[in-house]
Structure 1
Amino acid sequence: MDIRHLQCVSEIVRLNSFTKAAEALHVTQPTVSKMIKNLESELRIDIFARDGKRIKLTDAGEAMLRHAGPILQSFDDLLTELHDLTYLNKGSIRIGLPPMTGSGFFPAVIKSFQERYPGIAIKVTEDGARKVEEGIAEGMLDVGVVLLPLDEELYDSFPIVDDRLRVVLHPDHKLAGRKRIELAELADEPFLLFNDHFALHELIPRECRAAGFEPHVAFESSQWDFLVESAAAGLGVTLLPETICRSIDPAKARTAELVHPIIPWRPAMAWRRDGYISLAAREWIRFARAAFESARS
């Protein structure tokens, strides 16, 4: 018995036809029949019960099919991994990107990578850093952008930018003319925060409590530009990275340096230390690391 026999049994059951199974396996129908007959002879069992035109598995056939699924899946996984050892002319990478880093940092890098490796498909999942980290941990993503610090026993990473948060508020706000604002000065303000998919969802309230107050959260969003528009409409204040704040029209909303404390925002590309990292994903890591190091130099 070999892998071809298991593929044959699986296809016959899936398609409920010896003829269609032969077409799927790119062989003739007599070849399929002969393979089954030889397998039954080798194992001294009947795999299919002959019942007119109906295709029905025997108990032995049911047992074979039950074990065939995991074996065939492992075989496909093996072929995929071996295919990675070619010249990166095919493959895919699952990348998780939070909105604030996805739009600001990655379009040019992704474009350059796809020009270099046109056969590799990049599948981008846009979500907050907290959800991206969960996706990496669960194996749903190959790599993704999260916020430092990370558990270095679980993840490898490289930094993208070393940034800090700024206060964003309405142009007519009483603090709008200030260059620096202490966090404690915002104790009575309604806060506009990212939702719980984002690392800042927990980080900002934690820093507020350390500054001596519990923040009043007016509402939450998954979009940084919506938070800016809401602050510009006078619905509250929000805290966003300096990189994002550079793009804000001062006529619409004002920004000020946040001090006491300074809250860092350090996104990094991360991946699991354990588990298999495909050659395509490893090349993406190398390519992106070089691109960001070049941008910082």
Structure 2
Amino acid sequence: MHIGMRHIRYFAAVAEELHFRRAAERLNVSQPALSRAIRHIEQEIGVSLFERSNRHVALTRAGATFLRGCSTALAYMDGAVDQAQKTATGEKGHLVVGYTDIAIAGRLPQILKSFRQRYPEVTLEPRHDYTRAQLNAVEAGALDVGFVTGPVAAEGLASLAVQHDGFIVVLYGSHPLAKQREIALADLAGEPFVLGTTANWTYYHDHLYRLCREAGFEPRVVQQASNSEGIFGLIACEMGISVQATSIENCLRKGLKTRPLRDCAATVPTVAVWNQDTLSPVKQRFIDFLAEQAEDLVG
């Protein structure tokens, strides 16, 4: 059977107008060409679709049934075209997005929420992981965009800062230093530290250890945990104190206290990172979205 989408659109126009001249004008084709197309359909399926007279055009019962099927086919095709166009422009697709504890405690939730509101047909798959693991996954193509502790310098990877955190001291409520409004970093020289595991928190520790060395000491680490929740739990057990990024305060455990560091202007950046060699339309759309808002995000 040789009936294409053009024939179906011609038939639907005549069925809706019930007038060959008006349908031809609507389709921007000649009336004889339209009449030939309708006869072709009727010959192919072997039934009459219209009752015709000099003054009257009406659908037959078979024509009414055929119209319902054609309407479904046209809606499906129009939807398929729309979805294909949105996929090509990055308005539809799937993104795997990595994040660290600091990223998800900070501005990342608002970033993803705003992106989903603008592009509701893009599905996001967030995955928690540490900075080094995310960088490896981005390089391998297993992760579209990672939100990691920066700075990042790796061949083939591009990055954009989305957040800058200062540093806070996290203490249990009865700790003597909790009575102070601000704490000098040097005052922590003799304190037991609770930090993230060395293997996984390397990028954050680079920032923290540099600060401590500038203050004249090395952190005395007595406990390590794999994530922020574990760090806070150990502090709540009064096993030590910690120095964390300010955004982590949004996830603080009940009973713990935070204090700003005195005379500390240093910050730790969270950056979006992606592989320049594997840019899909939807990934480019997400990167453009981040760049568009970069001034507000970093401010």
Give the corresponding residue for 2:134. Answer: 132
Name the amino acid aligned to 2:200.
H
Name the amino acid aligned to 1:266.
P
Matches within 5 A, 1:27-66: none
**Percentage of pairs with the same residue:** 28
Return closer, same or farther for 1:86/1:101 CA change in 2, 3 Å cut-off. Answer: same
Give the corresponding residue for 1:182. Answer: 184
Give the corresponding residue for 2:229. Answer: 225
> Helix, strand or coil: the match of 2:127?
strand
Return closer, same or farther for 1:129/1:87 CA change in 2, 3 Å cut-off. Answer: same
Matches within 5 A, 1:97-108: 97-108=99-110
- Paired residues, what number? 214
C-alpha contact (below 8 Å) 2:91/2:282 kept by paired residues: no
Range 140-149 or range 202-211, more displaced: 202-211
Q: Distance in 1 between matches of 2:257 and 2:117?
A: 39
Give the corresponding residue for 1:32. Answer: none
Q: Distance in 1 between matches of 2:126 and 2:161?
A: 19
Q: Distance in 1 between matches of 2:118 and 2:282?
A: 12
C-alpha contact (below 8 Å) 1:94/1:141 kept by paired residues: yes
Return closer, same or farther for 1:180/1:111 CA change in 2, 3 Å cut-off. Answer: closer
Matches within 5 A, 1:207-218: 207-218=211-222
Match for residue 164 of structure 1 among 140, 163, 166:
166
Name the amino acid aligned to 1:264.
T
Q: Distance in 1 between matches of 2:146 and 2:135?
A: 7
Say whether residues 1:236 and 2:236 are aligned partners: no
Name the amino acid aligned to 2:162.
I
Shift of 1:282: 0.8
Q: Structure 1: 5+ residue runs without aligned partners? A: 1-81
Could you say which structure has the larger radius of gyration? 2
Shift of 1:259: 4.0
Give the corresponding residue for 1:272. Answer: 275
Shift of 1:144: 1.0
Name the amino acid aligned to 2:275.
R
Deviations 1:166-185 (A, max 9, x none): 11112221211223323232
Return closer, same or farther for 1:213/1:158 CA change in 2, 3 Å cut-off. Answer: same
Give the corresponding residue for 2:124. Answer: 122
Matches within 5 A, 1:145-160: 145-151=147-153, 154-160=156-162
Deviations 1:145-198 (A, max 9, x none): 122322276432222122211111122212112233232321221111112222
* Cα RMSD, aligned residues only: 3.0
| TM-score, scaled relative to structure 2 | 0.61
Name the amino acid aligned to 2:223.
F
Shift of 1:230: 2.4
> Helix, strand or coil: the match of 1:236?
coil
Q: Structure 2: 5+ residue runs without aligned partners? A: 1-83
Name the amino acid aligned to 1:222.
S
Name the amino acid aligned to 1:200.
Y
Return closer, same or farther for 1:216/1:242 CA change in 2, 3 Å cut-off. Answer: same
| TM-score, scaled relative to structure 1 | 0.61
Q: Distance in 1 between matches of 2:298 and 2:220?
A: 37
C-alpha contact (below 8 Å) 2:105/2:251 kept by paired residues: no
> Helix, strand or coil: the match of 1:176?
helix
Name the amino acid aligned to 1:256.
R
C-alpha contact (below 8 Å) 2:90/2:283 kept by paired residues: no
Give the corresponding residue for 1:142. Answer: 144
Q: Distance in 2 between matches of 1:183 and 1:206?
A: 12
Q: Distance in 2 between matches of 1:84 and 1:140?
A: 23
Return closer, same or farther for 1:108/1:161 CA change in 2, 3 Å cut-off. Answer: closer
Shift of 1:285: 1.2
Q: Distance in 2 between matches of 1:220 and 1:201?
A: 12
Q: Distance in 1 between matches of 2:140 and 2:86?
A: 22
Shift of 1:296: 5.9
Shift of 1:211: 3.4
Q: Distance in 1 between matches of 2:264 and 2:106?
A: 25
Give the corresponding residue for 2:95. Answer: 93
Name the amino acid aligned to 1:255.
T
Give the corresponding residue for 2:33. Answer: none
Match for residue 255 of structure 2 among 240, 252, 275:
252
Return closer, same or farther for 1:228/1:277 CA change in 2, 3 Å cut-off. Answer: same
Q: Distance in 1 between matches of 2:236 and 2:135?
A: 31
Shift of 1:292: 5.2
Shift of 1:289: 3.4
